[in-house]
Structure 1
Amino acid sequence: GNSWLWDISGVRVLVDPILVGNLDFGIPWLYDAAKKFLKNFELTDLPQVDCLLITQSLDDHCHLKTLKPLSEMSPNLRVIATPNAKSLLDPLFRNVTYLEPGQESEVEAANGSKVRIQATAGPVLGPPWQRPENGYLVISPQGQLTLYYEPHCVYNKDFLEKEHADIVITPVIKQLLPNFTLVSGQEDAVQLAKLLHAKFIVPMKNGDLDSKGFLASIIQGEGTIESFKELLSKELPDAKTLEPTPGEPLHIPPP
């Protein structure tokens, strides 16, 4: 799945949460997916978070079954999101900042800790003239640590070549429909890590769901984490791949 809880310099950021109900895009006969892990995890099990971060406007990132009850619990929660999700988030939350690629905003925790979040260009999920969805660079105070996240491994090379990220969270296994790449990975993930001079790569588990429906039956995975590691070792031999376990903290110290 795509859900993350980051603690960066004391600032807790909840990312693209899917914690209530299944993922079905409103068309369960076509696609219906349930979590394989942490099946009993509930919103009330979350610690206090300082920011909700939304990358895309579709249900697998902006999951209304989760966001509606979350907004009832925390209507004043700070939210940073793609403008493509404005019509979905405005009715729910009172404190939303929409970032276009290149724009940034600061998030401050209750304890005074701060991080800076900068939007980057992600995939275009509609017609070519539509605004792209977002990726994000999250920069800790004084820039000791920078994290990059975009959940489809789709990025604007020209935009990112002037940036760096110590940690890159990205898909590494491709998800393919006939004649269409849903989620990239493998060599594209290697080039992303190389572009950002990454020290750590954290592979996502996008397709690791119990899914059914016609769409689920025709999605094919391509590559493995091991084949990604082999490709990475040739291009960026000093980078480390850190495989997360759902529900268990993954500690990454500042470089």
Structure 2
Amino acid sequence: MAVTSTVARSPAFHAPTFHTNQYSHRCRCRGSVSRRMRLKMSAAASGVTSVQTKPLTLTYLEANGWLWEVNGVRIIVDPILVGNLDFGVPWLFDGAKKTLKNFRLENLEELDCLLITQSLDDHCHKKTLDALSNIYQDLHVVSTPNAKPILETLFKEVTYIEPGQTTQLKGRNSSEIIIRASAGPVLGPPWQRPENGYFIQAQDPKFTLYYEPHCVYNKFLLEEEYADVVITPVIKQLLPAFTLVSGQEDAVELARLLKARYVVPMNNGELETKGLLSSILYADGTIDSFKALLSNALPHVQILEPSPGSPLDIPIPL
């Protein structure tokens, strides 16, 4: 249930007053599982390993998908875990994962929240969400309102937030985090509501994570913001005369604006693709070229590279 209330702001946030939806949620999912297990050691089947709880652990699930553990609160983000990414038109585009080919939803254990950034299939993947809603029937969802036509038929507890609005989440371990939406890309006419990026604020220990999967942002709105950890694509994905995903120098500027300590790069275009669109889609830049750009501009910022399926512990001071 979402309840409107006021959340006290941490110094880590510098935005003006914003709207808040506050809730506590406990997910009831099938079976009995250990709280200390974060991802099943089903390496032979899925390529995913497990680790003990840390303040911030990020597991990249390829494409735009992530599993985050933020002070023990487990959040699955934009997952594509059932079938390929094809937008319902596989003749136009069909993308398959390169590493986690055999990953199954059953490889996941406890989840506190599903976080959706955008309304299109590469973020709000209908095949995955259909299956996820069957396994985690009471899973709470935080999403852009743009995805409401898909989510409202699948999940009972959905909190929709627009850029500038927040919601508070309490995990099964009683840790609390604040999720605040920021403005992402506009997928349509300029008057349409933008999609979401997110600031995730943890309290004990205190740190802030920022994520936007297209490296699209409003520079003016981010000038007074802060994030310890920035997850962003760094390799551009381009069509003739159109940028699908930004990166490279824009990712460096994002790290500068947010005064980041760590950048976690993602390559959401690293898929096995076929179809008409794949023949004209191309990449610009590499991880190495981004490292060089970042080192020259912000030598104090550390890059932490994820490996699909392997939990990445972020060195947050306790």
With normalisation by structure 2, the TM-score equals 0.79
CA distance in structure 1 between the partners assigned to 2:233 and 2:175 by the alignment: 29
Which of these residues, 102, 117, 130, is aligned with residue 55 of structure 1? 117
CA distance in structure 1 between the partners assigned to 2:140 and 2:171 by the alignment: 10
Query: 1:177 aligned to 2:239?
Result: yes
2:127 corresponding residue in structure 1: 65
CA deviation profile, 1:88-113 (whole Å, cap 9, x unmatched)? 10010011000110000011111111
1:163 corresponding residue in structure 2: 225
Moved more, 156-165 or 141-150: 141-150
2:187 corresponding residue in structure 1: 125
CA distance in structure 2 between the partners assigned to 1:235 and 1:208 by the alignment: 26
The one-letter amino acid of 1:235's match is: A
1:215 corresponding residue in structure 2: 277
CA deviation profile, 1:111-136 (whole Å, cap 9, x unmatched)? 11111100000000111111000000
Residue 142 (structure 1) shift = 5.5
Which of these residues, 87, 91, 97, is aligned with residue 29 of structure 1? 91
Query: 1:252 aligned to 2:314?
Result: yes
SS of 1:93's equivalent in the other structure is coil
Instruction: In structure 2, list runs of 5 or more residues that go unmatched.
Output: 1-62
CA distance in structure 2 between the partners assigned to 1:96 and 1:59 by the alignment: 18
Quick check: 2:71–2:204 contact (8 Å CA) kept in 1? Answer: no
1:243 corresponding residue in structure 2: 305
SS of 2:247's equivalent in the other structure is coil
Moved more, 231-240 or 180-189: 231-240
1:225 corresponding residue in structure 2: 287
CA distance in structure 1 between the partners assigned to 2:315 and 2:203 by the alignment: 14
SS of 1:106's equivalent in the other structure is strand
SS of 1:243's equivalent in the other structure is coil
Alpha-carbon RMSD = 0.9
The one-letter amino acid of 2:293's match is: L
CA distance in structure 2 between the partners assigned to 1:193 and 1:233 by the alignment: 12
The one-letter amino acid of 2:262's match is: F
The one-letter amino acid of 1:95's match is: E
Query: 1:115 aligned to 2:177?
Result: yes
Q: Give the total of aligned pairs.
A: 255
Paired residues for 1:96-115 under 5 Å = 96-115=158-177
Which of these residues, 259, 262, 266, is aligned with residue 200 of structure 1? 262
The one-letter amino acid of 1:129's match is: W
SS of 2:291's equivalent in the other structure is helix
Residue 75 (structure 1) shift = 2.2
Query: 1:93 aligned to 2:162?
Result: no
Moved over 6 A (4+): none
Considering Cα pairs closer than 8 Å and 6+ residues apart, tell me whether 1 or 2 has the greater RCO.
2
The one-letter amino acid of 1:34's match is: A
Residue 253 (structure 1) shift = 2.1
CA distance in structure 2 between the partners assigned to 1:103 and 1:158 by the alignment: 17
Residue 216 (structure 1) shift = 0.7
The one-letter amino acid of 2:305's match is: E
Residue 158 (structure 1) shift = 1.8
1:17 corresponding residue in structure 2: 79
SS of 2:313's equivalent in the other structure is coil
1:45 corresponding residue in structure 2: 107
CA deviation profile, 1:62-87 (whole Å, cap 9, x unmatched)? 00000001111112111000000011
Q: Find the structure with the greater CA-based Rg.
A: 2
Quick check: 2:211–2:231 contact (8 Å CA) kept in 1? Answer: yes
2:27 corresponding residue in structure 1: none
2:251 corresponding residue in structure 1: 189
SS of 1:22's equivalent in the other structure is coil
CA distance in structure 2 between the partners assigned to 1:142 and 1:112 by the alignment: 11
CA distance in structure 2 between the partners assigned to 1:202 and 1:128 by the alignment: 30
